[in-house]
Amino acid sequence: MAGPGAFVRLIGAGWTLLRNDALLPRELDPLYSSGARTLSRLLRVFAGRQAYQGRPGERLARSLERLGPVAIKLGQLLSTRADIFGREFALDLSRLKDRLAPFPTAVARAEVELTLGRPVESLFASFGEPVAAASLAQAHDAVLLDGRRVAVKVLRPAIARRVADDGEVLWLAARLVDRWVPAARRLEPKGFAATVIRATELELDLRLEAAGADELAEVMGQDGYMSAPKVVWEGVGKRVLTMEWAKGLPLSEDEALEQPGLDRKALADNLTRAFLAQALDHGVFHADLHEGNLFAAAPAQLTAVDFGIIGRLGAPERRYLAEILWGFLNRDYEQVARVHFEAGYVPATHSVSAFAQALRAVGEPIFGRAAAEVPMSRVLTQLFEITALFDMRLRPELVLLQKTMMTVEGVARRIDPDHDIWAASDPVVRRWIARELSPATRLKRLAGEAETAVRNLARLAERPPVPVPVDILREDKPNFSPLWFALGAAAAGVAFLVGALVA
């Protein structure tokens, strides 16, 4: 429940954006409708001197940095989509990824000692200045006593209180939107806010991040599209995380893509395939894959860092995702439409064929075309219009997936302007379809379901019998015990399974 302080901070956030002319920037006046242009000019009356310092992206970055961690993460997402918002705007926001103002190294050293319960010198031969500073933490270059180079991540002082405050403001904003903007209700603003708040809260325990990094390192190792640095467990605590140094250069640096021998096409393909392999094959994926969290090395090596946000998908969601992608890859829009209805993404009151027609209007103009030839802002606008037309609502359980897909595509486009997301996706999706939807796998799944049914029935048979009224216990009536019922049902289940195998 948001308190009075949340209202004050929400008003303060709006005031910060107004003072920097970052809500409806003057540079975009020619693109606004007449009503929006009038509102923009009215709001500009409240702008301060800082509203005339820098480009729109610089002013927005300055505003978001002041507004706190959750706002900064929004800026990080926007910075990955130069194809939508323009290269200059995205570049101005890119400083929010890992180039924020650091806190003093002396404070970081004290935090390491307090969290780990030992002197810095007992673990590290050297502990350097911060090399990257983000919204929640900063990273230090250090060397272990055994000579290994490591990165030590330390949470910012008092960051938990700041995240809690941001969460209250975001929740209040979501409630207000849900209450006063009926058209936005299908986007489930409260569900979206709850997902973002929960994900950010989990980032405040670096022990959980270490566990996520360790789990994803195992997952990534099975395909080789991406890797993760090894966790140094003796350097892990609630507010401190130590990992081996990542190979290569962060993609947030321009020099990263100019390394000798770098294969940009293969690098972009590896990024797309790594994400899909994680999500489809394992149901767990790195959910914060912006350039500041990705290191590149020749010829096409990708190393991910910062595992604070981990996304997870259940078996049904993985199947829906794979079948939707497979349908698009084969341009089978009827199949894609049917999966949307089966998953409940589109209300059953609509027509499957009509929805397939709408999907064709989106898919055909972009299929097989290079990323540089596709105006993604126009595609997203069309998708938004279609989701409104067919009453599609945001699914809170898919927020991290959708956010990560958007980020991954944006980063891949920056790596390789000619990136073909469909061609890159094909081998991973094809492998999943061949494995999970093959006749052998379906029979195996059916057998497992039958086994579970028999086990549940056996448990029912073990329960004490329910008392039966005396007047119906007559000798001329058969007396069926729960055990016989269970055995009969089990036999029926086995017969069904055998019939399916024969068929």
Catalytic residues: 288
Closest CA to 97 of 474, 331, 381, 411: 411
- Under 8 Å between Cβ of 303 and 297: yes
Q: Which residue has the tokens 């981990």?
A: 310
Closest CA to 95 of 58, 138, 66: 58
Give the largest Cα separation in the chain, rounded: 97
Please state the three-class secondary structure of 380-429 as a single string: HHHHHHHHHHCCCCCCHHHHHHHHHHHHHHHHHHHHCCCCCHHHHHHHHH
Residue 391: burial class (beta carbons within 10 Å; 0-12, 13-18, 19+): exposed
Six token digits for residue 498? 């055998």
Question: How far, in whole angstroms, is CA 361 from its chain's centroid?
Answer: 27
Alpha-carbon distance 379 to 367, whole Å?
12
Question: How far, in whole angstroms, is CA 439 from its chain's centroid?
Answer: 32
Question: How far, in whole angstroms, is CA 45 from its chain's centroid?
Answer: 38
Alpha-carbon distance 470 to 347, whole Å?
51
Q: Which residue has the tokens 């929400």?
A: 10
Alpha-carbon distance 171 to 7, whole Å?
11
Element (H, E) at 451: helix 439-462
- Under 8 Å between Cβ of 294 and 250: yes
Closest CA to 306 of 128, 137, 99, 77: 137
What is the sign, positive or negative, of the torsion defined by CA atoms of 240, 109, 131, 122?
negative
